Chain A
Amino acid sequence: MLRVALSRLLQGLLTLLMTSVIVFVLARTSGSPVDLVLPSEATAAERQAYIERNGLDRPLPVQYGVFLVNALQGDFGTSLRTRQPALDLVMSRLGRTLALATLGLVIALVVSVPIGVLSATHREGAWDRVGQGFALLGQSIPSFLLGIVLILVFSIHLRWLPSSGIGDWRNYILPAVVLGWSISAGIVRLLRSSMLEALGAEFVKLARSKGLSEATVVWKHGLRNALIPVLTFVGFMYGVIIASAVVVEVVFGWPGLGYLAYESTLWRDFPVLQCAVLVYTAIIVSINFLVDLGYGIADPRVRT
């Protein structure tokens, strides 16, 4: 168990390291990083001070080391736009994105678990066709398109829900539905195939031969086992959700981390963007790690 946990931890750190290297390399190949990080009206003395403080006159590996040490201490520089520390800006937006992502995940599970189960139990039947169609549409409709269609229908025509901004609970509905949508297809597909596998297994035959009702067999014995691969996937899906949150937050004007990343791109506010990317990656990595860990505790077969 400890070995598995350690290897997962290393895995996550590797992802984080890789992302930081790519961000670092991109920043250094684009010309002088001074132009990216300091405002354009900075004086020559300020530039010189920055170069010396970050070792920009030294070899690249040393520069990367300085960047990494600063990042680990939470120093990502200051926003070119607001002059606040980049990390503060990012952290102030984080909660909104996590709230939306969590709600999206809940919606996705509530909708797609029944569909996945029914399309497995009614294989090649009407429910299966519904499930397959749902999965196919889920994969084919980009989240920004669904967002726009929902705004057209529910905000502009029916005037039921607000199209953008934050306010009360009604502002959560449309963006959370779109976020949930982006992973529902994956859950339905995965659950359908793992459910088919579970229902063909010996323990289900045993449960049937004991005379248990079909509902108990399917929903208790079948689903419980079929959910395991889906749950391992939830960490991964949470990552997908958080990543598609960038697009969804822009469509719905939701001032979360994704919107901040988008704004920083428009304003060329590199320190904030860089910080947002690394915090994003750190969150995805930690969630994956926690899910793997929880999975290891829940399922003894993993503890090797």
Chain B
Amino acid sequence: MTANRYDPAFPKQRGKPWIALGIVALTMVVAVFANQLVLHDPEAVDPANALLPPVLFEGGLLEYPLGTDRLGRDILSRVMLGTRISLSIAAMALAFGGIVGVVLGMIAGYRGGWVDVVIMRLADSFLAFPSVLIALVLAVTIGARMELVALVLGLVLWARFARLIRGEVLTWKERDFVALARVSGATGRYIMIRHLLPNVANSLVVLATLQVGWAIVVEASLTFLGAGVPPPTPTWGGMVAEGLDFIESAWWISLMPGIAILLVVFAFNVLGDWLRDKLDPQLRSV
């Protein structure tokens, strides 16, 4: 029997996304070793070399490959430092959202009944939660810090994880091996950790990879609005915002960090799509 050509469960096998893997690996290295790799102090001001274009354009200097901003700060170095901020916040948000989401999703799926109803209603209300606006409120009231921005992102993320994990657990818990474990006297917690968690791990990895991009985009939007990590810390969104006033004359100030966001998010999304087809072709909803 041939597979139905319309069946979404049989995607064509694709080759490994080498470019995306390369960008993700490079991003990680830059995020970890940003301080060692930068050519200039990202906060060092050099008025003599302010508003230099990137090296390939007329007037650009090799010393400043991506150009300089209005204070003569090196854009490449600032983009590299920004990588660290963006990835750290994404990692923290995913850790928070992932852990809370997995625990609550498992409990909801495994226990069922009113526990399930309460947790999933809660998750649904957080899905419609206006995270960008809450982050603005946060910036006005407490003042934005990295952990707090990550927390706001995590408030939406946990609901996405919980929904996915609950759905998976609902199908797995009817399997014989779970029934056997239960008959042999295993506790609910033991079954969830030893039997269900390994089986939902693939979906978890796929969703987490796909959400990295989302977290980076939202974090950049927040710093762009001035509600993320405040200056002078170099952040991608903050740099784009700073360049907005010079967009006609010095487009590179905004565009270079913008391209960095685009490349990194694109790479994580390609990787996530590939992982999904590879690990979990049934998973179409994320």
Which residues of A are in contact with B by a Cβ distance under 8 Å?
A: 10-12, 14-15, 18-19, 22-23, 26-27, 29-30, 36, 120, 123-124, 136-137, 139-145, 148-149, 151-152, 156, 193, 196-197, 199-200, 236, 239, 243-244, 246-247, 250-251, 261-262, 264-266, 268, 270, 273-274, 276-277, 280-281, 284-285, 288
A268 to B226, CA, bound (A): 12
Residue contact B247 to A123, C-beta cutoff 8 Å: no
- Contact across chains for B125 and A14 when beta carbons are under 8 A apart: yes
Distance of A260 from chain B, by nearest CB (Å): 11
Could you jot down 29 A-B contacts, CB within 8 Å?
A15-B129, A18-B126, A19-B134, A26-B138, A30-B142, A30-B143, A120-B6, A136-B266, A140-B266, A143-B221, A144-B221, A145-B258, A145-B261, A152-B251, A152-B255, A156-B247, A197-B6, A199-B6, A239-B130, A246-B221, A261-B136, A265-B139, A266-B226, A273-B140, A277-B130, A277-B134, A280-B133, A281-B128, A284-B130
**Chain B interface, DSSP helix/strand/loop, else mixed:** helix
Interface: B64 (CB within 8 A)? no
A265 and B213 contacting across the interface, CB-CB below 8 Å? no
- Chain B interface (Cβ < 8 Å from any Cβ of A): 4-8, 12, 121-122, 124-134, 136-143, 213-214, 217, 220-221, 224-227, 237, 240, 244, 247-248, 251, 254-255, 258, 261-262, 265-266, 269-270, 273, 284
A265 near B240: Cβ-Cβ < 8 Å = no
Q: What's the Cα separation between A188 and B273 when bound, in Å?
A: 15
Which secondary structure dominates where chain A touches chain B? helix
Q: How far is the CB of B183 from chain A (nearest CB, A)?
A: 34
Count of A-B contacts with CB under 8 A? 157
> Would you call B133 and A246 a contact (CB within 8 A)?
yes
**With a CB–CB cut-off of 8 A, which chain B residues contact A200?**
4, 6-7
Q: Which 4 A-B pairs have CB atoms at the shortest separation, nearest pair first?
A: A30-B141, A140-B266, A15-B125, A145-B258
Q: What chain A residues lie within 8 Å of B227 (beta carbons)?
A: 265
Within the complex, what minimum Cβ distance (angstroms) separates B241 from chain A? 8
